[in-house]
Amino acid sequence: MTVLVIGNATVDLSYEVPRLPAPGETVLARAKMVDTGGKGLNQAIVAHRAGAEVVYCAPLGCDAQAEVILERLGREGLGVEHLRRVSAPTDESLIFVAASGENAIVSTAAAAHGLAEEAAVPVLDLLRKGDLLLMQGNLTRATTSLCLDRARAAGARTLLNPAPIAFDYEGLWPAVDLAVLNEVESAILTGRGDPTLAAEALRRAGAGAVVTTLGPQGARLVGDDGEWSVPAPKVAAVDTTGAGDVFCGVLAAAVHDRLGFEAALRWAVAAASLSVTRRGTANAFPSRDELVCMRERSDAGDTLR
């Protein structure tokens, strides 16, 4: 079975600042870091490190930034044959990371939006029954809708992390087997501030199961077979960038491997919690060995503290 990730890729420029700047304020950075990122790339890397067979499709420009991403993919052992070249520059993210670990991110999306529907069709043709399509919110609504529909038609399962939210997902939820959102995103999409009410609204709209990530409080899943909540271990967060992507990548690998929901949540929460103790995006992700160890402990029911 395969996890097909269709999403974006960015080069991340991160600034470590004492606090996030207020409107009109200039804050001096303590340090700078260049890393690869983008929700599609992040989740593909993590799912691959977590043991899934990953096929990755993303749009890149024809520039030096694209070479940075290609080099990262080579180091990760991920194939590049399904990357698509577009006329726009490779997307970038500007990240401010406060001393508390909180971040603020601004990303370009011209390359991501340049992935036309027809450009995604060849890789979608690879999907088979039992495979998993993993998507995020960086692509256009038209391309996202096509990918979800084609996956379901092929008998593949679908996992959608609709961040960043750039359009209304009304009508798309029936093609989503598993949705992953944080509290802010679920409130935006449903108009309900309570995560439980928001999850119920998404399920009424057609989503099969809904995971709400709750930061330091862990995560909660609501599905046809019941509800599961997993607390997060107490850690000293220094950079929360990419933590949600670590969660989604591990969860995708767990779904791909047909791990039970509770064990899958434990594994994903533990991995995301480790990532926030390190600075950077891909540089902060748990290693393959660390993920294997966490998987063994989650299977055993360990609280992973």
* Residue 305 per-residue DSSP state: -
Q: 3-state DSSP call for residue 98?
A: coil
Q: Is pTM beyond 0.85 here?
A: yes
Query: Where are the domains positioned within the chain?
Result: 3-10+38-89+109-299
Identify the CATH class of 3-10+38-89+109-299.
alpha beta
Buried b (16+ CB within 10 A) or exposed e, 148-180: bebbbebebbbbbbbbeeeeebeebbebbbbbb
Q: 3-state DSSP call for residue 112?
A: helix
Q: What is the pLDDT of residue 305?
A: 31
Label the pairing between strands 178-182 and 157-161.
parallel
Question: Under 8 Å CB-to-CB from 10, ≥6 apart: which residues?
Answer: 36, 37, 38, 41, 90, 91, 92, 93, 107, 108
Q: 3-state DSSP call for residue 252?
A: helix
pLDDT values of the chain reduced to their tens digit, one per residue, 305 residues = 699 999 999 999 999 999 999 999 999 999 999 999 999 999 999 999 999 999 999 999 999 999 999 999 999 999 999 999 999 999 999 999 999 988 999 999 999 999 999 999 999 999 999 999 999 999 999 999 999 999 999 999 999 999 999 999 999 999 999 999 999 999 999 999 999 999 999 999 999 999 999 999 999 999 998 899 999 999 999 999 999 999 999 999 999 999 999 999 999 999 999 999 999 889 999 999 999 999 988 776 654 33
Q: Are 32 and 114 in contact (CB under 8 A)?
A: no
Residue 196 backbone phi and psi in degrees, to 5:
-65, -45
Task: Establish whether the linkage from the previous residue to 164 is cis, with ω within 30° of 0.
Answer: yes
> Alpha helices, DSSP H only, in the chain?
39-49, 64-76, 110-113, 117-124, 141-153, 183-190, 195-204, 243-256, 261-275, 288-299
Q: What is the pLDDT of residue 1?
A: 67
Q: How far apart are CA 58 and CA 109, in angstroms?
A: 12
Q: Are 157 and 179 in contact (CB under 8 A)?
A: no
Closest CA to 229 of 257, 184, 255, 268: 268
Q: What is the pLDDT of residue 300?
A: 63
